[in-house]
Amino acid sequence: MNILIIFEMRFKQDTNILTGILDYYGFKKITETSYSTDLSNIEFKELKRKIKEKNIKKGFIMIIPLCKGCYNKIETIGKEILSENKWYVVL
């Protein structure tokens, strides 16, 4: 399942904790506060548990699971680049 995570943190320490978790699961940075990857259902549940355990109070984390149908409907604007077999768009 493709996962998109968007977040905004008040404290740099919270951002570093979250990005460490995202790096562990192989997330790729889209922007400074948005990341994307493909996870199994088990990995997705583990990810949510690990994020909730950190108990981040000042900010928000939006986790958006995308089914293959929705993922295939994504439209991009700008120049597409290939990074590790995944397409991204540079605006």
Annotated binding site: 8
User: Residues comprising the binding site for Mg(2+)?
Assistant: 8
CA nearest to 5, candidates 65, 45, 50? 65
Nearest-angstrom CA–CA distance, 91 and 80: 9
